[in-house]
Structure 1
Amino acid sequence: MTSDGSIVGRALRKASCLSCGHCFHTVPLKSEERDALYGDGYDLGLVEPAADAARAEGYADCIDESVTTLLGHALRPRSVVEFGAGTGALLENLARRWHLSDALGFEAAPRLVVAARRRDDARATVRQGYAEQAPDEIAGRYDLCLSVNVLEHALDPQAFLSASRRVISEEGYVLVICPDGEVADTELLFLDHVSSFSTRSLRMVAAAAGLQVIGSVALGGQQKGFRLTVLKSNPTVQRDPTDLQYLPLAQARSDFLKGWSEIDEGALKWRGERSYAIFGAGEFRNLLRVYAPRLVEGAEAFLTDEPFAATLDGRPWLRAGEYISRHPGSAIVAAVNPRSWPAVAGKFRGSGTKVFHPYHFSSRLEERL
């Protein structure tokens, strides 16, 4: 599956470096495959504009708080360039928040660029293209180069970070947010996640690109599972020595992927003749559609707090309370990220409904709840 929920008929095979902790496809994506993934059909952020705006607000808050902690002072650039700007929601938020005089974004996916250009051009401008295609005219021009959940998609991370270094001023910063590769998590399941970075592998790639890591922090709250890293230009930075410290992480990644391969069979044994509904209609449900299809196909309804339509995938799309009142004592599978599981489980406590998480159907994953 790709990050926008599209299903691609390609096996997921990954390898993990025991020395630096970097995780990657055993068969690399080709540039034409990448371009096809981010073509006219790519719609991440377009399906739920309100969620896209909330995500932007959350990341803007994280950037303000985390950078202040790492640098000891607030980050107040006058000019920002964002690679992988998406719909432009975050860039526009930061332009307003920081009173930017120059806010420029680059985005590869055509539909996202169209959406971004519907925003306030006076605050931010988004052009179509990859980071490596940024024109020479903007070299050395920006106080900050930002990328949020983009570096892991780059076919050549060193080239991406080199492009980021090229556009910042002598005193400028590069700020990267990407999935925290120090833990095995759902980001491993996305085909267009070309890389999973450990803190060491990111430092090594950055050094090769002439960047030095100033500080790095794992994010919390709704951004749990992601890591923010601040970098500055330093062409003489030294690379880390190598050893086998990432052997446990390689095993954890392997166990995680094997655990996901168990969910569908485990759910089949659990359900028997049982009727059940699935709560959740977002990214986690999309992952289940790909990696546990029989679990999703067997649901008689989909539930959320506020359905956007009468049906979803040909079945009723209902409010959770409505389903429970019609089916007292029913079973619900919560298709939500494990970080949201305690809140969702608490939501249904006392309702007489039995709530399960997909990880309950895998012996390798259950302990993560």
Structure 2
Amino acid sequence: MQKNRTRHNQHISSPFETAGISCSICQSNNTASITTSMTYAMRSDGLLLNEPLAKVHCFNCGVLLGRNNQPEQAYLRSSGNSEFDLKRHQAVANGIANLLETSSNQSILSTLCKSDARVLEIGGANFATALALKKLKPHLQITSIEPSPEQVPETNDIDIIIDTFSTKHFKHKFDIIFSNNVIEHIADTRAFLKQCREMIEPSGCLIVCCPAHTPASNELLFSDHLYHFTPQSLALCCQAVGLELVAQQVAGWDTLTQVYLLRPTTGGQYQLEEPKPTQLFQVRRRLLAEWSKQDTLLKSQLDASRPLLLFGAGEFSQLIRTYLPKTYAKVSAITVDSVLGARQFDKPIIEFGQLRVTNQQILIGLNPSVRPAVEQKLSAAGFNQSQIIVPTV
């Protein structure tokens, strides 16, 4: 991981109408709302909110703030044990292990090699990442905490705690703390980082993985992503609680995830690239505008005389249901390779192997990175190009 060499410019003026909202990270009033024409918003588990998506961009530190009301309903989780889910957890574990092994910081390498090194995962989901990391590094003493687990495995390999991190009292500190896709959901970032700082040994480190600020991605569409951090905005939070940014990189398991390596403050200085918040605002606004237009664009490709299938029963298909309601209304059924791990929908779900290809059209409801492979799969199954519909978002 390479350190950047340019200092952070403290204030950049906005050419856009201000939102009248103070940034909760840097306290700047130089903010602007990013509005959409969408009727609903969606939580990351697929829960619909009866209000438009609301985001506010800060032109000083570049953070994007989520402004939707947060429902109290418990998260609707899948089992988390589909082949895709398990591969993802393994990839995260591989990435965490590789990050620690290749760190340029000698104290972090020494910590990893300790025979009794203690590791805490915050937000264990189904604990598959912690279990995979234990197999990679058997000497680590791993604890994983999760308030609402997808499932709880029977294992003695790791310590499992079903509780909330903010209220849990731990008996000892940890050498390594890591979280993946947690911090963006937490309302009080500084309080979370402060508690992490208090739980880290002086020579330890904190690994925070969260949606990358660039390129702008569909992660912006989740109402419960309260923050889309830039390195500058996260560094400000760290400085306030006695942490410092050591390094950052794009995650090896997901190009849309940024990995930040933090440690207790030692007086070192990690210099950041000068932010470009105006450019970032334009990119974010453009992505949301493209989603607003997508329903109309897809309508021109759909044949009303043909049944419409939706391929995929995961996160992206739920985004289609929420933000492309006219297109989703035409869907007669959803098809997937396996119903294991499918999210909740109000349409019948059919395993692809049981599907008989006739004159249907099929809309690919998966992230852009996997669409080419799915197109090939559909073509091999007998769908022609006029039947395959690919979103442009």
Q: Which residue pairs with 1:210 in the alignment?
A: 242
Q: Does 1:194 align with 2:226?
A: yes
CA deviation after TM superposition for structure 1 residue 63, in Å: 1.5
Aligned residues: 341
Out of 132, 138, 163, the residue aligned to residue 93 of structure 1 is 132
Q: Sequence identity, in percent?
A: 25
SS of the equivalent of 1:300 reads strand
Residue 127 (1) aligns with residue 162 (2): yes
Q: Which residue of 1 aligns with 2:277?
A: 246
The structure carrying a bigger helix percent of its residues is 1
Query: Could you tell me whether the CA contact under 8 Å between 2:131 and 2:157 is conserved in 1?
Result: no
Q: Is the 8 A contact 2:246 2:270 kept in 1?
A: no
Which residue of the partner structure matches residue 178 of structure 1? Answer: 210
Letter aligned with residue 82 of structure 1: E
Cα shift at 1:65: 2.4
Give the equivalent residue in structure 2 for 1:8.
49
2:82 is the alignment partner of 1:46: no
Quote the residue 1:143 is aligned against.
Answer: 175
RMSD across aligned C-alpha pairs, in angstroms? Answer: 2.9
Alpha-carbon separation, structure 1, partners of 2:201 and 2:220: 34
- Tell me if the contact between 2:185 and 2:227 (Cα under 8 Å) persists in the aligned partners: yes
Residue in 1 aligned with 2:32?
A: none
* SS at 2:48 equivalent: coil
1:227 positional shift? 1.3
Deviations 1:227-283 (A, max 9, x none): 111111106566979976221111111111111122223223332514221111111
Match of 2:293 in 1: 262
Q: Find the aligned partners of 2:332 and 2:302 in 1 and give their Cα distance.
A: 12
Alpha-carbon shift at residue 121 of structure 1 (Å) = 4.0
Would the aligned equivalents of 1:82 and 1:145 in 2 still touch at CA under 8 Å? yes
The Cα of 1:93 is off from its aligned counterpart by 2.2
SS of 2:214's partner is: coil
What are the superposed Cα offsets for residues 100-137 of structure 1, whole Å, 9 maximum, x if unpaired? 5532222233xx17x33x4314522213113x323264
Provide closer, same or farther for how the CA distance between residues 148 and 76 of structure 1 changes in structure 2, counting only shifts above 3 A: farther
Q: How far is 1:43 from its partner?
A: 3.7
Unpaired runs of 5+ residues, structure 1, are 360-364
**Partner residue in 2 for 1:326:** 357
Amino acid at match of 2:51: R
Which amino acid letter does the alignment assign opposite residue 13 of structure 1?
A
Aligned residues of 1:104 and 1:126 also touching (Cα < 8 A): yes
Provide structure 2 residue ranges, at least 5 long, that are not aligned to the other structure.
1-41
Residue in 1 aligned with 2:58? 17
SS of the residue aligned with 1:161? helix
Question: Do the aligned partners of 1:211 and 1:237 also contact (CA within 8 Å) in 2?
Answer: no
1:260 to 1:236, Cα distance in 2 relative to 1, 3 A: same
Normalising by the residue count of structure 1, what TM-score does the alignment of the two structures yield? 0.82
CA–CA distance in 1 between the matches of 2:305 and 2:101?
51
Counterparts of 1:100 and 1:8, CA distance in 2: 45
